[in-house]
Chains A and B, each alone.
Chain A
Amino acid sequence: MIRKTFMLLTGLGMAMPTFGHYIPGDGPVELSASVVATWRSDDIVEQNDYWQIPGTLMGGHAWPYEKGVAVDEALLGLGARINERTFAVIEVGTHGGGDGHGDSAEVQHAYLGFQCCEEPGPWVLEVGRMSSAFSPSLAAHAGDRLTSESPLVNDVFFGRDFHDEGVRLWWHETAGWSAGAEYWRGKAFPANTDGDGAWDVFARHAWSAGRIRTTAGGWYYRANASARADHRYGGGHTHTPVAPPGATAEAFPDTRFTGDVDVYGVHASLQYELSTDWSLGLQGEWMQLAMDGTLNDAVGRQARLDADQQGGWLQPSVSWRRHTLGLRGEMLTTDNHLTGSAAPVLAEDSGLVNASGHDPMRYTAVWRYQWRPDVAFRAEVIQDETLADDELRFGLGVVWQGQLWPQGRSQEHQH
């Protein structure tokens, strides 16, 4: 009932769309940086527990958010026009994740782009290591989002972040339309490098008239994985964590998935300016995932897996001058079927077991204050029902997103 009421109410509300993809402008070299730090009142899971949402196969960089102050993200990006039609982008950053997980910096973007054929619109070819373009929320950084925590479906279906080596060809923002295809080597969850890689197609449309701005789009993604591990905790030589006196810890059961993953999604955003000071926003995305494959473990146990999962989020917001107040409601449903003599054990070990039919949900209320053009503060209240035990936690954060060179220019999409 609460769920329904929330979803219906949010349909009346409104937020600013964000897109993570970046093409350098025509000027000189652009150097930008951002740091996102958040204090949270509680952990999602205890220190020696593993974050595993019932009914799902998780992985990638979907580390649990932890109590205390954590750097959610730190980025340093460099973009340059090599000539009129060629550009390059390099971005180094951390994923965050607390407790040493993902704290080390890595190259998240390193790609070359070419554009041509200005009429009827530019075609852009990009090659290298980059974020995906098919889902705006998946490419968005922690500082771009209204909330500090990434959408639940992104954490579960894509391991929070998506950076892979690949090639993208797309028709870029012409008459409001963007559409293209991407082919990936398969380094990013839910693919893995031993599989046959991944690819996707996408299209979206941006439209504005008077006080209204909208975007809407859809995409389809397909990946193949071979003996894919949950690399957050497994995938190599695993140990039983050393628990403090009086506490117990268990070794992570290293269960692998081999097979195909199909995901499709639709997303939309709407912004309506009531007046110079007031505006309303609404954003949302819905994804449907199908997994067809095999689970196995190190001792030779095996079971067939056929899974259909879907989830999404909806985020209405209201802005007054530099203040934005928003709500985000998220949910996930899972329908899994395992077959084989080892099915009960592997369902338990992999995290797919969901004996109580738990539907993971999360609600976030957020207030964001844009103190300076490059500095914002936010406060959040999160009712987390993703695990069997509900949790209410609070967050206070700061976002700094600066253009270091040239100064005084904002970072925009340009051709």
Chain B
Amino acid sequence: MFVKKLRAGPVWPALLLCVSALLSGCLESSSTTVDDQGARVSSFDWGLPESIPLPREPEDNPMTEAKFQLGRHLFYDRRLSTNSTVSCAGCHQQDKAFSDGVARPFGATGEQHPRNSQPLVNVAWASTVTWGNPSLGTIERQILLPLFGDDPVEHGLNEANSEQVLRSLQADPTYGPLFQAAFPEQNDPMFGDLAWDNVVKALASFVRGLVSFDSKFDRGELSASAQRGERLFNSERLECFHCHAGYNFSDATVDRLTTFNQLMFHNTGLYNVDGMGGYPEPNTGRHEVTGDPDHMGQFRAPTLRNIALTAPYNHDGSVETLEGVIRNYAAGGRVLTTGPNPGDGRMNPFKDGFITSFAISEQEIDDVVAFLESLTDESFITNPRFSNPWNSIGQETP
């Protein structure tokens, strides 16, 4: 009985349903809507091209022009060291894309740093802000190291001298209005308990605002040689583009569009001092922090923007030229037969999988270098906005 009833089942209604559904669909129109939840909104004028996403801003230190300007003054102020000999700008010079041109700089007390000074280029987009420390994700935390760190001593500030240094800043009438404008919600931002916190936040704001996206590459003005170099750079033969990826030419890049912080560090086969992949102490990279043997020799891939201005290269400044860097990669690692750290980096067991040898001609090396030189942003190194403010107000740099 049930089957008989079904035999005369709802065939025509189903067919009509199909047709009517089709017709009803005709009347609708497609659309895709997006809600970026304010990702392009900032109270700070970043001056970015449309294609570049805004960087993240810490919730407790949103960017403002007033903090940027206060930080700029502090950045160039030598009084911010134990003996008034060192400012941030000493190791981060604008004409060198805020690097210093030496392999390893000296601090206020004459102690040599084991690492090469990193250029301060688009630091706001860096997922971590040192060569090898995966736990340092904000500029605010990193700045404490050069100011107050003692291994090595850079600015040489400590509990004993920090009050005196602060008093020297407080004595300069230039700073009062700058502090007040930067932290208007505080009653006494320069003399109160938050004075050092404000110094750090202002310095971080200036460093965060050092933005460089106006190179020949960005403007599409590559020479024929640079175009050939770009193709090589993005080829599976050279593999450069994997670690130096994206708009900031580093895979250690985050912005407001990214949800996760991916820790990206790489061993490039620069050393192999013990035949077991060891790097010379204390420069063992990420391994220094984590103690994980697999992290031996892992360092963050720096941005390649303005790279032609920031020689010498690698984490210890041990490679003088871009040609030298390319030749090391072409060899699949560096072989050192002399000096204090001999070893065959090509055989480093912790080497990144992309560091494999490749054949490259002299012309091709020149082409890749030409491409890297096209990433130089002349406006960045001459921009008065990033320059020493003490000169512009007719004062000698304190």
Query: A residues touching B (Cβ–Cβ < 8 Å)?
Result: 3-4, 7-8, 11, 54-55, 120, 174-177, 205, 207, 214-218, 239-240, 266-268, 270, 282, 284-286, 296, 299-303, 310-312, 314, 331-345, 347, 352-355, 357-360
Contacts and interface: CB of A to CB of B under 8 A. Distances in A.
Contacts of B262: 299-300
Given A266-B18, A300-B258, A339-B35, A239 B3 contact: no
A175 B4 CA distance: 8
A311 B25 contact: yes
Contact of A218 (B14, B29, B254): B14
B22 A314 contact: yes
B37 interface: yes
A342 B255 CA distance: 10
A55 B256 contact: no
Contacts of B32: 55, 334-338, 347, 352-355
A284 B259 CA distance: 43
Given A7-B23, A300-B259, A333 B15 contact: no
Contacts of B4: 175
A189 B237 CA distance: 33
Nearest to B51: A345
Pairs of residues from A and B, 10 with the lowest C-beta to C-beta distance, nearest first:
A216-B14, A341-B39, A342-B257, A300-B260, A300-B258, A175-B3, A268-B15, A302-B259, A343-B34, A336-B32
Given A216-B10, A301-B257, A284 B19 contact: yes
B9 interface: yes
A282 to B, nearest CB: 8
Contact of B11 (A3, A216, A240, A358): A216
A3 B26 contact: yes
Contacts of B19: 7, 11, 284, 314
Contact of B258 (A55, A285, A342): A342
Contact of A333 (B7, B25, B245, B253): B25
13 contacts: A176-B9, A177-B3, A205-B11, A215-B11, A268-B15, A312-B22, A331-B26, A333-B28, A336-B33, A337-B33, A339-B37, A341-B257, A347-B32
A344 B34 contact: yes
Contacts of A296: 259
Contacts, number: 169
Contacts of B25: 286, 310-312, 331, 333
B22 A175 contact: no
A120 B260 CA distance: 58
Contacts of A331: 22, 25-26
Given A338-B32, A354-B31, A174 B3 contact: yes
A338 B33 contact: yes
A360 B29 CA distance: 10
B208 to A, nearest CB: 18
Contacts of A285: 18
Contact of B30 (A120, A175, A357): A357
B261 to A, nearest CB: 7
A7 B22 contact: yes
B18 A268 contact: yes
Contact of B21 (A312, A341, A344, A352): A312
Interface in B251-290: 251, 253-254, 256-262
Given A175-B3, A268-B18, A358 B257 contact: no
A354 B245 CA distance: 28
B6 interface: yes
A44 to B, nearest CB: 19
B254 A334 contact: no
A333 B29 contact: yes
A299 B11 contact: no
B17 interface: yes
Contacts of B38: 341
B7 A176 contact: yes
A146 B253 CA distance: 52
A344 B259 CA distance: 14
Nearest to A341: B39
B31 A357 contact: yes
A286 B245 CA distance: 44
A300 B30 contact: no
A19 B235 CA distance: 48
Given A240-B234, A333-B29, A266 B6 contact: no
Nearest to A314: B22
Contacts of A354: 30-32
A267 B34 contact: no
A207 B211 CA distance: 72
A303 B32 CA distance: 13
